[in-house]
Amino acid sequence: MGLKSAFVTGDSWYSCMANLKLIKHYQLGLLFVLESNRLVSVEKGEWVQAQQLVIPEEALVVWLKQLG
């Protein structure tokens, strides 16, 4: 048996697209720190740099360009 993970966490050092796509391939959730210039979307089709977001205290779910 063992522990089955539901999420993978990491800092910006590990948030390259290859790592994120591999984690998504295994259908695991992602919780990573991103570089401030990464393009993210809160609403479909509207991409902004992560540094432009106002992030509430309880967090914010975003979509990454090239990852979905």
What domain range is 59 assigned to? 7-64
- Model confidence at 45, in pLDDT bands (50, 70, 90)? confident
Q: Please check whether residue 16 lies inside any domain of the structure.
A: yes
Amino acid, single-letter form, for residue 24 = K
Who wins on pLDDT, 67 or 20? 20
pTM above the 0.85 mark?
no
Q: What is the pLDDT of residue 60?
A: 87
User: Is residue 1 included in any domain, yes or no?
Assistant: no
DSSP bridge partners of 39:
49
Per-residue pLDDT tens digits for 1-43 = 788 899 999 999 999 999 999 999 999 999 999 899 999 999 8
HEC per residue, the chain = CCCCCCEEEECHHHCCHHHHHHHHHCCCEEEECCCCCCEEEEECCEEEEHHHCCCCCCCCCCEECCCC
Whether 2 maps to a domain, the answer reads: no
